[in-house]
Structure 1
Amino acid sequence: MAIILEICVETMASIAAARAGGADRIELCSALALGGLTPSAGLIAAAVAQPLPCHVMIRPRGGDFAYDADEVAQMERDIAYAAGAGMAGVVFGAARDGALDRPVLDRLMACVRTAGRPLSTTLHRAIDTLDDPVAAIEVAVGLGLDRVLSSGGATTALTGIETLRAMHERAAGRLKVMAGSGINAGNVAALLAAGVDEIHASCSSPRPSENAALHRLDFAATVPITDAGRVRALREAIDS
């Protein structure tokens, strides 16, 4: 079975580059510099109109993954909107005190089940903040999630490769383990040998603005732009 390559993006230009490079799926976000937040309605609508399946990030803010009642309600509304807009899947997570926040995740999964159309579900890298990401696989399976995105609790997936291997073994085919963080054509073979099921990458480089006022006012002055050549190189490395 071919390994799925998912590329995370925050612009339509990056979606076009991911498609040109041979990506299988898009993770649609805003604010990748913050780890990815829920994108705008306009970007969601534009992304749905192109042919690659898109999974949308459901994350109301940067920072930790311990959400209050208003934030959970916002996430529920965002899931319902994503389903109505035609998204193929949703990406979310919730964690508190070193463990997955089961009550919040139960609510989000209930929203998925009542969304009116099938949605694929991904637990994002909130799992990497846990005391025991391997044991958390059992919780993710019990929730009915389709996959987890993880770097094995490390800064990069290659550094966390042994934890990713253990997560894959614990999952035992009950859900997919998708490796992400720092993956490129030069290191993906080692991760595939560890048994991960899918690959997640940005294949991007920052494009700094030449507008001096942005720097002076401390506005975000760079935009991550997906490089079609890097996507293609990663796709070829996976396929070989």
Structure 2
Amino acid sequence: MKIELCAASVTAIKLAKQLNFDRIELCENLVQGGITPSAGRIEYAVNSGMETHVLIRPRPGGFYYSKEEITIMVSDIRFAKKMGAAGVVVGALNNYRAIDEEALKAFMDAAEGMEVTYHRAFDDCVLDWQKRLDILINAGITRLLTSGLASNINNGIPVLKEMKGYIAGHLELMPGGGVNAANVSKIIHEVEPDAIHFSGTVKTVVDEESFFSETFLAIDENRVKRILDEIRSTLKNNHSVN
């Protein structure tokens, strides 16, 4: 099982390297769900030696994008590929809140040779989840990041278990969305995922004395280590039992 850190800062990239994460999902602005990172941040992450998967999301909010936004996303995918990223993380819905298959094809064509993760736009889609998975499998998606259609992963575990059986090796299942030290062992035991995804962040006020003070989600080393220790302990115990 692979362990992926959602990394939205230089500190997070460095911590992922230090703690031997398998890979990172690179983004910015986690407080609004994450958007596409800057060119400089992509370059820094790739040069750090971390396996880097770049979030392709041009703005906060829902996942119905205009033709112009889709064009920008395709350009961002090509740029991430040119920069040496191992993969991209994508998702788009049409105005009926079904998976935008035309956009998905454009994303896959631009990402040729890279791994492609479909993100939690999947959870915001109104199609039956089996139909959603069929679309992703037929498109050649590498993995799916999902909370099991729930606002928090604790409520999504039963669906995640069903998804794992339905996928049957056609693509990787990566639970995410509220993963913490208290629930990660249960997720691993019950779902048996191919990967696990979390950010390990806390709300933090930066530059409190400045006119431009902001609250954002900052990586918390202790929280990350607690989750990571729980994952590795669970995997070790599973291996011992098997």
TM-score computed with the length of structure 1 as normaliser: 0.90
Q: How does 1:213-232 map to 2 (within 5 A)?
A: 213-214=210-211, 220-227=214-221, 228-232=224-228
Inter-partner Cα distance in structure 2 for 1:58 and 1:76: 9
Alpha carbons 2:203, 2:218 under 8 Å: kept: yes
Inter-partner Cα distance in structure 2 for 1:222 and 1:111: 32
Alpha carbons 2:185, 2:231 under 8 Å: kept: no
Query: What's 2:145 paired with?
Result: 149
Give 1:124's aligned amino acid: H
Q: Aligned with 2:21: secondary structure?
A: coil
Query: What's 1:203 paired with?
Result: 200
**Which structure 1 residue ranges, 5 or more long, are not aligned?**
none
Query: What's 2:2 paired with?
Result: 4
Alpha carbons 1:17, 1:226 under 8 Å: kept: no
Q: Summarize the Cα distance change of 1:39–1:234 in structure 2 as closer, same or farther, 3 Å threshold.
A: farther
Query: What's 1:171 paired with?
Result: 167
**Which structure 2 residue ranges, 5 or more long, are not aligned?**
237-242
Counterpart of 2:115 (choices 109, 112, 120) is 120
Inter-partner Cα distance in structure 1 for 2:71 and 2:63: 14
Query: What's 1:65 paired with?
Result: 63
Give 1:165's aligned amino acid: K
Inter-partner Cα distance in structure 1 for 2:76 and 2:218: 24
Q: Deviation above 3 Å: which 4+ runs of structure 1?
A: none
User: Cα deviations across residues 75-119 of structure 1 (Å, max 9, x unaligned)?
Assistant: 011011000000000000011223111111111111112xxxx21
Higher relative contact order (CA 8 A, sep 6+): 1
Q: Shift in Å at residue 235 of structure 1?
A: 3.8
Alpha carbons 1:38, 1:56 under 8 Å: kept: yes
Alpha carbons 2:141, 2:171 under 8 Å: kept: yes
Alpha carbons 2:6, 2:25 under 8 Å: kept: yes
Name the Cα RMSD after superposition.
1.7
Structure in which a larger fraction of residues adopt helix:
2
Percent identity over paired residues = 34
Give 2:136's aligned amino acid: A
Inter-partner Cα distance in structure 2 for 1:63 and 1:167: 26
Inter-partner Cα distance in structure 2 for 1:189 and 1:68: 40
Inter-partner Cα distance in structure 2 for 1:213 and 1:66: 36
Aligned length: 231
Give 1:13's aligned amino acid: T
TM-score computed with the length of structure 2 as normaliser: 0.89
Inter-partner Cα distance in structure 1 for 2:52 and 2:234: 20
